[in-house]
Structure 1
Amino acid sequence: MIQVEVWSDVVCPWCYIGKRRLEGALATFPGEVSVEWRSFQLDPSTPTGDPRTVGESLAARRGFTAAQVKGMFANVTAIAAQEGLDFDFDRARTANTLDAHRLLHFAKAHGRQGELKERLMRGYFTEGADVADHTVLAGLAAEVGLDEVAAKQALTDGSYAEDVDADIAQARAYGISGVPFFVFNQRIGVSGAQPLEVFEQALAQSSLTVLRAPEGTASAAAGECTDDSCAI
């Protein structure tokens, strides 16, 4: 069985696009594959309860005009649409994703990590869900078959924070500074939301190439977000 580990953030647009492209490659791959979602926070300093839209936050942080932000979002929205995704950046709110990542580890412990990952990203990019709000998070967990009360308790008591930290530490060990980042059988590293064909090749060759310290992750490449920018 091939193991695929994916470092990504819930609020990273290229991570959702890359997820779809990976899934497209998996759909035609004849072998068995397991996918594990690893935690990565693009901006751990994001305050909880930030009322700004993601566009307002981006403009303030990077000094972009409203027109520049609109153009950037239009571009990535069009690319997402090619993958069957419906992005609505007007509804997307700035959010600290630590608790969402903790909840993903809770879901992993109960066999629903993949389902929750999809629900969180759809909630954020399409529905404008506040993925930092505990009630919202627990409700989304319930939608994918997890116990809502247990999910809310895990969020309240700080559970799984050490698992998030471990994922981020492993990302640093690999030299990962931008997401999405995909590791196949701890041997092949793929940076960014690459074309479907790249994922097909990685699956086919995953037993042949030894993973080295990833190159080209110090700044945003095409289809990648770092802690201070997205290559949109």
Structure 2
Amino acid sequence: MSEIIGEQPAESKRLRVDIFSDIACPWCFIGKRRFEQGVESFEYSQNVDVYWHAYQLDPSLPDNYDGSEAEYLSKMKGLDQSQVQQMLQHVTAQAAEEGLAYDFENLKVANSFTALRVLEYAKQHGAGNEMKELLLSAHFEKGLDTGNVQTLLELAGSLGLDAQELGAQIEAGAYAEEVNADISQAQQLGISGVPFFVLDGKYGISGAQPAEVFSNALTQVYAENVQAQ
């Protein structure tokens, strides 16, 4: 494609992707992996800017739920335990195909709001994607209590973030406003399930789609952006 004088070449165009997800959402971790694979196979992958946004599947959860994931889902969805176990086996198999080792037997069911506040802190300190990865893995693979502040501070510290500063800010209620703003934005966009991907502020992709869906969508939107210049 020839370059027009006064315009940036196609190779330098940026493409923004806003991702709404919950760290307590099993399909969000799978979707993250598939999206990353889609970006890797996209010709201008280095030009993709990702912005994580908070979303809560169940704001009514207590900080710590006294029961297993299967028991929680059974009550929440009104399904019997055998149906829930089949669901968990299915999502575990899907996760395994993406290299993820889900452990629902040891998963600690917890409200995700505090973890999302910690993620917001990490985002503002340049470690959003790394913290998102750690939180998802902690919740679904490592059996860590993501509703426990000390656990969250240790995860933040492992990324080189200031755990002491973060602890003081979390105790003071910081970052709740930003998390609630993300949740309100999702409602305004009509998002009722996650993961949800918004490309270039215009195109939405719902769910943990195959990697090629993301790659094709990125290619299409990028080409439209270049042509519009």
Shorter-chain-normalised TM-score: which range? 0.7 to 0.9
Aligned 8 A contact 1:18 1:192 in 2: yes
Structure 2 equivalent of residue 109 of structure 1: 124
**Structure 2 residue corresponding to 1:136, chosen from 151, 159, 163:** 151
**Structure 2 residue corresponding to 1:169, chosen from 184, 188, 197:** 184
Structure 2 equivalent of residue 23 of structure 1: 36
**Structure 1 residue corresponding to 2:23, chosen from 10, 15, 18:** 10
Written as runs of structure 1 = structure 2, the 5 A alignment for 1:1-232 is 1-31=14-44, 32-207=47-222
The CA distance in 2 between the partners of 1:113 and 1:186, in whole Å, is 20
Structure number with greater CO (CA < 8 Å, separation at least 6) is 2
Q: Which TM-score applies when normalising by structure 2?
A: 0.88
Q: Which TM-score applies when normalising by structure 1?
A: 0.87
Give the deviation of 1:28 after TM superposition: 2.2
The CA distance in 2 between the partners of 1:15 and 1:190, in whole Å, is 13
Runs of 4+ in 1 over 3 A off after TM superposition: 207-210
- AA aligned opposite 1:172: Q
3-state DSSP class of the match of 1:43? coil
3-state DSSP class of the match of 1:178? coil
| Structure with the higher fraction of residues in helix conformation | 2
The CA distance in 1 between the partners of 2:180 and 2:146, in whole Å, is 19
The CA distance in 1 between the partners of 2:220 and 2:175, in whole Å, is 33
Aligned 8 A contact 1:106 1:154 in 2: no
Give the deviation of 1:197 after TM superposition: 1.0
Unaligned 5+ residue runs, structure 1?
211-232
- AA aligned opposite 2:16: Q
- AA aligned opposite 1:157: A
| Structure 1 residues 73-131: Cα deviation after superposition (integer angstroms, max 9, x where no partner) | 11110011001110000111211111111111100110001000000000000011111
Larger Rg belongs to:
2
Q: CA RMSD in A?
A: 1.4
The CA distance in 2 between the partners of 1:136 and 1:20, in whole Å, is 24
- AA aligned opposite 2:124: A
Question: Identity of aligned pairs, percent?
Answer: 44
The CA distance in 2 between the partners of 1:55 and 1:154, in whole Å, is 34
